[in-house]
C-alpha cells in the first residue's frame, strides 16, 4: 500500500478462537480451534498456546459465488507471495500458472518484502478494469446507474402527487448516477412531504459508501468529498421503519432479537452512523431464513430470523405483514413462511445490469396487497457517461453527469 516494507510494523491481522466439545462413545474430547492468521509469526501470541497443534484444517468454497454475484467479467487474480524465499519454495511458478489457466484467472508472483512485482500487480488490475484505456465499456451499459429505472418505477406506480410512496433504502452505490437518484428522491420529498417516505438502508452509511462506489462518484463529479459528506449527514435523518394502516411494518433489513415491540424502534437514536451491532444494525442488515428462531448471519452483521420469530413479533404488535428489501428476488417479490407473514420487495430491475431480474412495486389498497411488475429500461434509452480525464466545471475529473 505504501511501497515500503518494515519488519517493525505492528501486525494488523487478527486471530479467532473457538472451542468444540465432541462426545465419542465413552470419551469426551474438547477441541480448541485457533485461526491465528499469521499472529504466531508476528509474536503477538504466547507460542506455548499453539505449539502443540495436532490438526490443520484447510477450508475452501465449493461454489463460485464471486462470479455468480459479480458476473463473468469480474477480475480475479491468483497471487503467489513471498517470491523472495526461493530456498523455501514448495509451489513452482509453472504450477501457479497452470492452476490460473485452469481457473481462467490472472497470475503473478510477488514479494511484499522485496517489492517484487507489487506495483506490476496493481498496474495489471488497473488496466483490466472496465473503461480503462477504452476497454470493456460495452453497448449493453451494464455499469450505468439505475436512475432510469427509478423514473420507470414512477411511470408504473403512478404520479407522485396522487400516490403515497415508501422507499425502503439503498438509494446509492453501484452506479454512475447514485447522486442523481438520491437527489431526485430528496427533491420529491421536499415538494410532496406527505407522499414520499424514505427509509434508511444499510448502504446509507459512511463506511459502506466508501467501498461500493458512492464516495468515489461524488469525488469524480465534484473533485472533493463535500457532497458525499452532506449526503451522509442526510442519511442520519432517514427513518428506520414505517407502519402502513397499523398492520404492515416496512423496514429495510429485518427483525432484531433486542426488539419485541414497535415502541422499542421509536426509542432508537437514529442520528448516527449505522453501528456494527445492536437493534439499529439489525434493522438494516437482518435477513429472513427457513429456520424457527435466530441464527448468526453470514453477512457479519444483523441476524438470520425464522418463521416462529416473525409470527410472534407480528402477533405481539398486531401486524399482518412485514415488508422488507435488502435481498435480490428474481421475480420482484417473494413471500416467506407458512402464513406469508413476510414479503421481500425488490424494485431494481436487472440488478447490477447483469442479474436479469424483474422488479416490483407492492401496492396496498383496501382490498389487500397487489404487485406491479416492471422491467429495466432498455439499454438504448440510457445515458452512458463518457470517460473524461480533464477537469469539469465543478473541479472534478469524471466527465458527463447531470443533476
Q: Is the pLDDT of residue 46 over 60?
A: no
Task: Tell me the CA distances in angstroms from 205 to 53, 213, 219, 281, 330, one per residue in order.
Answer: 41, 12, 16, 11, 26
| Other Cβ atoms within 10 Å of 15 Cβ, number | 15
CATH topology (fold) of 67-134: Rossmann fold (3.40.50)
| Of 33, 31, 35, 40, residue with least CA distance to 15 | 35
Beta strand pairing call for 321-324 and 248-251:
parallel
Q: What is the pLDDT of residue 16?
A: 52
Q: How confident is the model over 383-401, as pLDDT tens digits? A: 766 544 444 444 444 444 4
CATH topology (fold) of 147-381: Purple Acid Phosphatase; chain A, domain 2 (3.60.21)
Q: What is the pLDDT of residue 385?
A: 60
Q: How confident is the model over 331-352, as pLDDT tens digits? A: 999 999 999 999 999 999 988 7
| Of 66, 57, 60, 10, residue with least CA distance to 35 | 57
Q: What is the pLDDT of residue 41?
A: 46
Q: What is the pLDDT of residue 84?
A: 84
Q: Among all residues, which ones are annotated catalytic?
A: 203
Q: Is the pLDDT of residue 10 over 90?
A: no
Q: What is the pLDDT of residue 391?
A: 45
Q: Where are the domains of the chain?
A: 1-59, 67-134, 147-381
| Other Cβ atoms within 10 Å of 18 Cβ, number | 9
Q: What is the pLDDT of residue 261?
A: 97
- Find the largest Cα–Cα distance for the chain: 78
Q: How confident is the model over 283-334, as pLDDT tens digits? A: 999 999 999 999 999 999 999 999 999 999 999 999 999 999 999 999 999 9
Residues 60-69: what's their mean pLDDT?
Answer: 66
What burial class does residue 332 get, using C-beta atoms within 10 Å of its C-beta: 0-12 exposed, 13-18 middle, 19+ buried? Answer: buried
Q: How confident is the model over 254-290, as pLDDT tens digits? A: 999 999 999 999 999 999 999 999 999 999 999 999 9
| Of 269, 300, 268, 271, residue with least CA distance to 285 | 300
Phi, psi of 372 (to 5 degrees): -105, 125
Cα–Cα distance for residue pair 39/129, rounded to 1 Å:
33
Amino acid at each position: 500500500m505504501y511501497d515500503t516494507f518494515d519488519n517493525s510494523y505492528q501486525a494488523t491481522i487478527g486471530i479467532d478462537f473457538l472451542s468444540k466439545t465432541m462426545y465419542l462413545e465413552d470419551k469426551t474430547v474438547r477441541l480448541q480451534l485457533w485461526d491465528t492468521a499469521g499472529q504466531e509469526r508476528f509474536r503477538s501470541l504466547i507460542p506455548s498456546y499453539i505449539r502443540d497443534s495436532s490438526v490443520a484444517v484447510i477450508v475452501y468454497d465449493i461454489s463460485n459465488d464471486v462470479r455468480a454475484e459479480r458476473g463473468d467479467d469480474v477480475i480475479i487474480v491468483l497471487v503467489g507471495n513471498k517470491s523472495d524465499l526461493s530456498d523455501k519454495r514448495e509451489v513452482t511458478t509453472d504450477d501457479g500458472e497452470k492452476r490460473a489457466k485452469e481457473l481462467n484467472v490472472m497470475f503473478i508472483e510477488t514479494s511484499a518484502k522485496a517489492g517484487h512485482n507489487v506495483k506490476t500487480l496493481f498496474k495489471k488490475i488497473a488496466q483490466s478494469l472496465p473503461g480503462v484505456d477504452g476497454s470493456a465499456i460495452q453497448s449493453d451499459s451494464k455499469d450505468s446507474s439505475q436512475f432510469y429505472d427509478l423514473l420507470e418505477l414512477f411511470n408504473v406506480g403512478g404520479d407522485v402527487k396522487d400516490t403515497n410512496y415508501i422507499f425502503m433504502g439503498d438509494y446509492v452505490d453501484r452506479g454512475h448516477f447514485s447522486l442523481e437518484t438520491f437527489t431526485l428522491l430528496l427533491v420529491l420529498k421536499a415538494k410532496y412531504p406527505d407522499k414520499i417516505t424514505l427509509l434508511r438502508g444499510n448502504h446509507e452509511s459512511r463506511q459502506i459508501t466508501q467501498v461500493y462506489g458512492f464516495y468515489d462518484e461524488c469525488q469524480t463529479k465534484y473533485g472533493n468529498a463535500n457532497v458525499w459528506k452532506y449526503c451522509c449527514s442526510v442519511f442520519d435523518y432517514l427513518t428506520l421503519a414505517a407502519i402502513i394502516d397499523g398492520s404492515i411494518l416496512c423496514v429495510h433489513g429485518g427483525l432484531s432479537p433486542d426488539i419485541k415491540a414497535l415502541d422499542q424502534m421509536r426509542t432508537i437514536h437514529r442520528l448516527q452512523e449505522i453501528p456494527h451491532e445492536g437493534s439499529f444494525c439489525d434493522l438494516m442488515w437482518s435477513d429472513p431464513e427457513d429456520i424457527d428462531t435466530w441464527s448468526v448471519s453470514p453477512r457479519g452483521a444483523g441476524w438470520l430470523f425464522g418463521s416462529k420469530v416473525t409470527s410472534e413479533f407480528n402477533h405481539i404488535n398486531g401486524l399482518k405483514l412485514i415488508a422488507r428489501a435488502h435481498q435480490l428476488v428474481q421475480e420482484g417479490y417473494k413471500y416467506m413462511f407458512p402464513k406469508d407473514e413476510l414479503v421481500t420487495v425488490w424494485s431494481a430491475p436487472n440488478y447490477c445490469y447483469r442479474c436479469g431480474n424483474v422488479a416490483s412495486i407492492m401496492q396496498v389498497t383496501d382490498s389487500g396487497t397487489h404487485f406491479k411488475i416492471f422491467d429495466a429500461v432498455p439499454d438504448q434509452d440510457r445515458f452512458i457517461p463518457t470517460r473524461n480525464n480533464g477537469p469539469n466545471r465543478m473541479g472534478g475529473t469524471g466527465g458527463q453527469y447531470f443533476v
